[in-house]
Structure 1
Amino acid sequence: MPQMAPLLWLYLYFFFLLSLILFLSINYFIKPYQKMDHKSIMSHTSPKFTWKL
């Protein structure tokens, strides 16, 4: 039945809009990982050699 094709595209459009809204809202409310400060990392990981070569 070719008269049903516009309804198919309408349903696909609504599905796309709902999934886009869901994706954007999830990305808005979920916080990203905290970025580590490189200065504090370098101060803790710098090796202190006590011997001489």
Structure 2
Amino acid sequence: MPQMSPLLWLNLFMFFILGFLLFSIINYYILPKNKKEISTSNINPTQKIWKW
């Protein structure tokens, strides 16, 4: 039935949007923690490079 085709595309579109939102939320909460730990471990504020 051709009149049911828009409902199929709407269903697929909503499934894509929900999957993309879930993927984005998971990446937002997982990836920044690893980047912060790596960047702060390399900084040593007590070291003075300009003093010999």
TM-score, scaled relative to structure 1: 0.55
5+ long unaligned stretches in structure 1: 45-53
Cα RMSD after superposing both structures: 2.2
Which AA in structure 2 matches 1:19?
N
Structure with greater helix share of residues: 2
TM-score, scaled relative to structure 2: 0.56
Q: Would you say 1:43 and 2:47 are equivalent positions? A: no
Deviations 1:1-53 (A, max 9, x none): 30211010000000000011111221343352224544xx3331xxxxxxxxx
Partner of 2:12: 4
Query: Computing the radius of gyration over CA atoms, which structure comes out larger, 1 or 2?
Result: 1
5+ long unaligned stretches in structure 2: 1-7
What fraction of aligned residue pairs are identical, expressed as a percent? 10
